[in-house]
């Protein structure tokens, strides 16, 4: 078991466009996937992109928040693995929600995202995979795919007023819930 170090805000790997994965079945990529899955579970995150572990590759993992099951069970399931993902919004509807990022510890933001998306890519076996996502799952996928393009959720904030430290996020929650 190898837990990977997570790159933090300021490291250039988080700002670069990642390169396509040539062959998901390459043993080095398989090891990277295994290590990313273990690292995500260890930090209790919802998603992780390869640039966050200093690998500039178009590869992400995300908890299966699409499945109609309890959070405890989702945590026990293997995450979705997506290499070379592509994303397409379904409709114009945007929805704001709270996001954090393992590379930006201690902060939360109120971030607008597409409510529904369609995604496709290649799974951990190298097979094509496609699906639709909405709500939290769509949010996580948009957040992780952004990482592959060097985009952080900070770039998606409407205003710096939509950012707070964890210890002060209740102020932001109060304001955003008043706004509906
Ligand atoms: Ni992130």
Hey, where are the domains in the chain?
12-178
Q: How far is CA 29 from CA 14, 48, 57, 98, 179, in A?
A: 19, 15, 10, 31, 44
Give Cβ neighbours of residue 145 (< 8 Å, ≥ 6 apart).
Answer: 49, 60, 85, 87, 119
1 versus 123: which is more confidently predicted? 123
Does domain 12-178 fall under CATH 3.90.45.10? My reply is: yes
Tell me what pLDDT residue 179 has: 61
Q: Point out the least confidently predicted range of 13-27, 68-82, 118-132.
A: 68-82
- What is the per-residue pLDDT across 87-121, written as a single tens digit (0 to 9) for each? 999 999 999 999 999 999 999 999 999 999 999 99
Instruction: Return the percentage of the chain with pLDDT > 70, whole number.
Output: 98
Tell me what pLDDT residue 69 has: 77
147 versus 76: which is more confidently predicted? 147
Which tokens is 92 given? 């114009």
Tell me what pLDDT residue 154 has: 98
If you measure from the C-alpha of residue 77 to the centroid of ligand 1, how many angstroms do you get, rounded to a whole number? 20
If you measure from the C-alpha of residue 85 to the centroid of ligand 1, how many angstroms do you get, rounded to a whole number? 16
**Annotated catalytic residue 144:** yes
Look at residue 7 and tell me whether its pLDDT is greater than 90: yes
Of the pLDDT bands very low, low, confident and very high (cuts 50, 70, 90), residue 74 is: confident
**Of 88, 93, 144, 173, which residue is the catalytic one?**
144
- Confidence (pTM): 0.95
If you measure from the C-alpha of residue 171 to the centroid of ligand 1, how many angstroms do you get, rounded to a whole number? 22
């Amino acid at each position: 078991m190898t837990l990977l170090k997570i790159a933090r805000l300021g490291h250039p790997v988080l700002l670069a466009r990642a390169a396509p994965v040539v062959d998901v079945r390459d043993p080095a990529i398989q090891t990277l996937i295994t290590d990313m899955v273990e690292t995500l579970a260890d930090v209790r995150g919802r998603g992780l992109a390869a640039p966050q572990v200093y690998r500039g590759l178009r590869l992400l993992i995300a908890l299966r928040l699409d499945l109609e099951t309890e959070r405890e069970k989702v945590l026990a399931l293997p995450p979705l693995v997506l290499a070379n993902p592509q994303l397409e919004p379904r409709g114009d509807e945007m929805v704001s929600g709270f996001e954090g990022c393992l590379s930006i510890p201690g902060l939360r933001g109120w971030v607008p995202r597409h409510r529904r998306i369609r995604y496709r890519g290649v799974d951990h076996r190298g097979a094509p995979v496609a699906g639709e996502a909405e709500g939290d799952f769509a949010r996580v996928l948009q957040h992780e795919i952004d990482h592959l393009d060097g985009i952080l959720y900070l770039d998606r904030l409407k205003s710096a007023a939509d950012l707070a430290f964890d210890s002060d996020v209740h102020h932001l929650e109060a304001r955003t819930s008043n706004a509906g």
